[in-house]
Amino acid sequence: MGWLLRQLAHWKEIILQDKYLSVITNFGCHYSCPYCIVKNNNLNIPKSTVKGLSRLHNEICDNNINWVSVSGGGDPLWEYENHERWWKHFFQQVPLAVQLELHTSILNIEQDLKEQFNRIVYHLHTFEQLKHVKRSEGGVFEEIVRVVFVVTENFTEDLIDKIAEYCKESPEIDELSFRQMVDDHYKSTNYCAEYLRAGHKDRWWYIEQCDYNLYYCENKIYTEYRKIGEEL
């Protein structure tokens, strides 16, 4: 079943040319990632509020969105229990036909929350964290599980190969991607870039740093991540 769903999602992406809207949240974060784009570049992502979702449904429809991706300014699941009202309202605003994706570095997600998403993207920092990635158990549908690593100066080709081999053999992981770090001048680094490009679409996905989605934050649409909250 999982394989079939992944194939259907793959061909749907090709045929329909999926259009994403990234909902940018700020509930706070552990802020322990040395490459944090928000912290290192002093970006002013507004705090997430329920009122800030009031235009979400209209923006999804007006922009012909078929994938809504929730990410941050912080981790979307940070102190989740304090923000359940926001999440309840969020799910109500998204049309049923729209698919949902979650980006998080939190690995112990409750089963009922996992089942709300078509894809969960786990942002990892170490090889050991791969062993703690688990897909939903016993649900009607299996979510697509992706892991993503930000490539830092400590990465080597051997480490990249080790990660790729683990993901290939893991029944818990469907997709692997790497992306470059953004430094404190909002410039993309270039660690192992040639090697990563060589394996792109074959062994992993290599994501070049760019603004490839529309961004929604507190009732406003942005085309550049770095400009979110700039007017505040």
In a domain, 211, yes or no: yes
User: Average pLDDT over the chain, rounded to whole?
Assistant: 87
Residue 127 has phi, psi (to 5 degrees) of -60, -40
In a domain, 72, yes or no: yes
pLDDT over 60 (residue 8): no
Report field, pTM of the whole predicted structure over 0.95: no
Q: Domain holding 63: CATH number?
A: 3.80.30.10
pLDDT per position as a tens digit, 198-208: 999 999 999 88
Closest to 82 in 3D by CA, of 18, 164, 27, 160: 27
> Burial, 194: exposed, middle or buried (Cβ in 10 Å; 0-12, 13-18, 19+)?
exposed
The number of angstroms, rounded, from the C-alpha of 161 to the middle of its chain's C-alpha atoms is 22
Quote the number of domains for the chain.
1
pLDDT over 90 (residue 185): no
Res 3: pLDDT: 45
pLDDT over 70 (residue 11): no
How large is the average pLDDT for residues 142-164? 95
Domain with 95, as residue range(s), is 2-227
In a domain, 232, yes or no: no
What's the longest Cα–Cα distance across the chain?
47
pLDDT per position as a tens digit, 75-131: 999 999 999 999 999 999 999 999 999 999 999 999 999 999 999 999 999 999 999
